[in-house]
Structure formats: structure tokens, C-alpha cells
Amino acid sequence: MSHSLFELTGRVAAVIGGGSGIGEAVAHGLHAAGAIVTVFDNRGDAATRVAAALGAESGPAEPGRFDDAPTAATLDIRDADAVERGLEDLYRRQARLDIVVCTPSINVRKRIVEYSGDEFDRVVAVNLKGSFNVLRAAGRIMTAQGRGSIVIFSSIRSQVVEQGQSVYAMTKAGIVQLVRTGAAEFGQFGVRVNAVAPGVVETPLTAPIKAQADWYNAYADKSAMKRWARADEMVGPTLFLASDAASYVTGSVLFADGGWTAVDGRYSPPGM
């Protein structure tokens, strides 16, 4: 297979949630593959920090080539109008929008009977409504231009659950159906929509688990690879879906979970 299938030189990419964790790693990966990256995050200082780091990796800019420099912007995906404005502004500046990656999510770990209405609304507003806002805004631009790739992050929790994961799992399952519907509606316009479903990844979101050794080790043992993922291990799956290597892939969920959803049970029979 030609290496050029994975080339993203000159492609315009928006990484939403790019200020930390998986989004930050993806921003670096897209930039290294040649994409022109704008980092969006609800923390503007974090987005600026990542964009500056990308710019430093590029070395001195060529005279008159400012449009290729990584940029940053503050964006709260719960605000539908702000999402529309942010992506439209990027499209106007670059006259194209090729890749949109959406990574943000939050979780409140509580049993169903203990969940408050405000907590429910908060998780749904970010994970599900926010993802919808991004898909809709990106879809409007990309269907009009006749091309593009949208990648939204789901989770293993779209398929398997544990106690305390009700609302988070619900939203991640909803993202799968959202992606499939986007693929069905946008495909005729040359726009692909896919999801990446990570397992347990070392990010700020999972820091409270990592801080508890028994919990951390139990999660490591559940995967076939007996370890957590690094954030940078989500870059390859994302770049594949964003690139021409996945030109006939849409409506799919790519599980990058170290075999978590493939392995049934936690016990190895004797002699195994």
C-alpha cells in the first residue's frame, strides 16, 4: 500500500478538544502528517499552548505562508452557535475544511438511583449534544464543498458497561448511532463519518482511576494487552479514518481498546 494514502499535506483539520489528552495527541499526529491544524478547546490557554508547540515543531515559517501555521481558538461544543461560527471562520480563512475530529467528553460516575438531573444534563450536553453540534456544523460545510472526513470519539462503553457508567455509556452509544446516521446522510456528498472507540487511555479524564492502584490494575488486566493505552496510540486510528487510506470507510466504529471488547471474562482456565 502506498504511503501517500496516509499523506495529509495541505489538508485543513480542526481538532476539537485538542488542548489535552487524546485531542492533543491527535493534533500533533495530524500536524506531523502535513495537515494545517486548528486546535479548538474550551480552555483557550490550553489550545494556544498546543498550537504553539505545533508551530515550534514546524520550524521557521516560510515568508508569505502564514495560512499554514497552526492556530488556536476557544470553543465550547455545548454552544451550537459558537461551533457553527468557529468552523465557518476556519472554512472562510482556508477556503476548505477537510478533517474534523471531536474528542471532548465528561463523566459523572454514580449509580442510577443517585444521579441528579443536573448531572444527567451536564454529561449529555457535552458528550451527546456537543458531538451533535460538531457533526451538524461540519456536515453543513463539507456536504456543500463535496468532501471531508469527520471523526467523533465514542468509547468501549458504547458496547460494554460497569456500575456507575449509565449516562456516560448512554451518550457513547448515542454517538455510534449519530455517526452512522451522519454517514447515511452525508455519503452521497463525498463526506465520510466514523467513530474511534478507545478502551482505557491515560488522560486527565481517567486520572482519578490511575490514582487508585487496585482500580488501575484491574483495568489493565481486563485488556488482552494487560496495560492501559497511551493517548498517542489513538493517533493512528484517527489518521487512518481521516486519510485517503479510509476512502471507502464510513459509518464505522474503530475499536482501539487493546482487545477489551474481544475478551470475555477475567479468569484464565488452568493450563491456559
What positions carry a catalytic annotation?
Answer: 168
Q: Which one-letter DSSP state was computed for residue 16? A: E
Distance of alpha carbon 92 from alpha carbon 82, whole angstroms: 15
Whether residue 100 contacts residue 90, with contact meaning beta carbons closer than 8 Å, is answered with no
Cβ–Cβ contacts within 10 Å for residue 225, how many?
13
In terms of C-beta density within 10 A (0-12 exposed, 13-18 middle, 19 or more buried), how is residue 216 classed?
middle
CA distance 223 to 202: 14
Neighbours of 254 (CB within 10 A): 20
38 membership: H or E segment, kind and range: strand 36-41
Closest CA to 188 of 147, 138, 244: 147
Grid cell digits, residue 44? 483557550
104 contacts 17 by C-beta, under 8 angstroms: yes
**What value does the CA radius of gyration of the chain take, rounded to a whole number of Å?**
19
